[in-house]
């Protein structure tokens, strides 16, 4: 029996819910469809927000031959068959779900056919492709982030689904509750709606029925409708602000929702963005806590995560290195660059090897000529940076003496 979520699968991009940054008048994916042209791409984002729907809508609207494979389930012979079909048709779209799990053999098999255009790849993943997908595949694809759905998007999807359920009776309060409970996952919302519908005798769905099916508390939303990313933002701001109790509160909300991947990513960022040079040892400690959490899984994962969040909240803070690199990148974006000085080029005969000098420091120019004197790194006033700055100054002083 076809489930409700599949019945609602869009046949056109205009039927896709959300993703207004990619779909609509003048938007990139809509323009590609209007121009009857498609390129290899990777669609990434959270589960249940429309990645597969967009891929299906693209091939449906273009009326192009396609094949759907899963990088985990389908073996190398399935990919061989897909390539053979693509050669026969001259061009074919290959939709690969969980593309971040595609092993090297399958990647090597596909690469030349993606390169010559016989296969147009549409990769689907919940993982960040910049971290999880082989650069050889990634460089041949345009990457599009599929953004989390808002509560109003989920409500829109539920109201569309209601039309497919005969004699259903459901009020707006219950619809909104389902939307909140879904955490931005439309597929989850539709599956919950369908189960509720078939668990009643008369098609009447109310809050009590929904709660009897799923009693898990709504963790990502408060009374004002704050979303999943607001909780992640609150975790980071609480750690940055050194409020250990608030940090633990928001960590608890994320653990209750079993969203370990988001916790891992956010803690990794905080370690370098907000604590940084004030406690440079925190980065490896965060990775160790993440490894321990991965090893033991929930519910025990909360133990190493709780400990590292306490230490992060209590740590001194510095964003000096983060700001320094941003300033360097800003110079590049403004065109403020220049040639590498002759003395540090690969073939230089005038390079001074610092290790041949006292304290491994020697005065020579490293910056491009038009950036000489430019300062990016401005140390903050904390023990680690003060000590490092003092050592650095002593290195130069000894040389000058």
Predicted confidence (pLDDT) per residue in 330-356, tens digit: 988 888 888 999 999 998 999 999 999
Candidates 1.10.1060.10, 1.20.810.10, 3.90.1150.10, 1.20.272.10; CATH matching 228-314: 1.20.272.10
Dihedrals φ, ψ of 124, to 5°?
-125, 130
102 Cβ contact list (under 8 Å, min separation 6): 71, 96, 134, 137
The CATH superfamily holding the domain 4-145 is P-loop containing nucleotide triphosphate hydrolases (3.40.50.300)
Rounded (10°) CA dihedral 52, 57, 58, 61: 160
pLDDT in tens, 5-46: 788 888 999 999 999 999 999 999 999 999 999 999 999 988
Instruction: Retrieve residue 270's tokens.
Output: 């905080």
Report yes or no: 87 and 119 within 8 Å, Cβ to Cβ: no
pTM (predicted TM-score):
0.58
DSSP letters spanning 296-342: H-TTTTHHHHHHHHHHHHHS----HHHHHHHHHHHHHHTT---PPPG
Q: How far apart (Å, rounded) are the C-alpha atoms in residues 96 and 70?
A: 5
Report helix, strand or coil for 401: coil
What is the bridge-based pairing of β-strands 204-205 and 119-125? unpaired
Instruction: Retrieve residue 319's tokens.
Output: 């964003």
pLDDT in tens, 217-273: 554 444 333 456 788 889 999 999 999 999 999 999 899 888 899 899 999 999 999
CATH number of 151-213: 1.10.8
CATH fold of 330-400: post-AAA+ oligomerization domain-like (1.10.3710)
Structural domain boundaries of the chain? 4-145, 151-213, 228-314, 330-400
Instruction: Retrieve residue 135's tokens.
Output: 């650069």
């Amino acid at each position: 029996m076809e489930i409700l979520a599949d019945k609602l699968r869009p046949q056109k991009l205009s039927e896709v819910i959300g993703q207004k940054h990619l779909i609509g008048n003048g938007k990139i994916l809509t323009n590609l469809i209007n121009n009857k042209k498609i390129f290899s791409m990777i669609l990434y984002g959270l589960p249940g927000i429309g990645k597969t729907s967009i891929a299906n809508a693209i091939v449906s609207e273009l009326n192009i031959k396609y094949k759907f494979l899963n990088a985990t389930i389908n073996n190398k012979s399935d990919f061989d068959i897909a390539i053979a079909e693509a050669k026969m048709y001259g061009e074919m779209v290959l939709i690969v779900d969980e593309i971040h799990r595609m092993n090297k053999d399958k990647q090597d098999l596909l690469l030349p056919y993606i390169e010559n255009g016989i296969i147009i790849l549409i990769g689907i993943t919940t993982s960040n492709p910049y971290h999880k997908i082989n650069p050889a595949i990634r460089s041949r694809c345009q990457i599009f982030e599929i953004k989390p759905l808002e509560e109003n998007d989920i409500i829109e999807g539920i109201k569309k689904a209601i039309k497919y359920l005969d004699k259903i009776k459901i009020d707006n309060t219950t619809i909104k509750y389902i939307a909140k409970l879904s955490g931005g996952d439309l597929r989850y919302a539709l599956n919950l709606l369908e189960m509720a519908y078939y668990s009643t005798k008369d098609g009447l769905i109310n809050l009590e029925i929904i709660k009897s099916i799923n009693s898990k508390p709504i963790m990502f939303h408060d009374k004002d409708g704050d979303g999943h990313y607001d909780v992640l933002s609150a975790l980071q701001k609480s750690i940055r602000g050194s409020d250990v109790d608030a940090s633990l509160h928001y960590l608890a909300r994320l653990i209750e929702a079993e969203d370990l991947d988001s916790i891992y990513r956010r803690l990794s960022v905080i370690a370098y963005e907000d604590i940084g040079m004030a406690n440079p040892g925190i980065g490896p400690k965060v990775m160790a806590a993440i490894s321990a959490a991965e090893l033991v899984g929930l519910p025990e994962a909360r133990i190493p995560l709780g400990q590292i969040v306490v230490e992060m909240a209590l740590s001194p803070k510095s964003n000096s290195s983060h700001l320094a690199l941003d300033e360097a990148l800003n110079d590049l974006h403004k065109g403020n660059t220049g040639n590498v000085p002759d003395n540090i080029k690969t073939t230089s005969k005038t390079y001074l090897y610092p290790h041949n000098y006292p304290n491994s420091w020697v005065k020579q120019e490293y910056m491009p000529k038009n950036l000489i004197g430019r300062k990016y790194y401005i140390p903050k006033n904390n023990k680690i940076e003060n000590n490092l700055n003092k050592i650095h100054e002593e290195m130069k002083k000894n040389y000058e003496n």
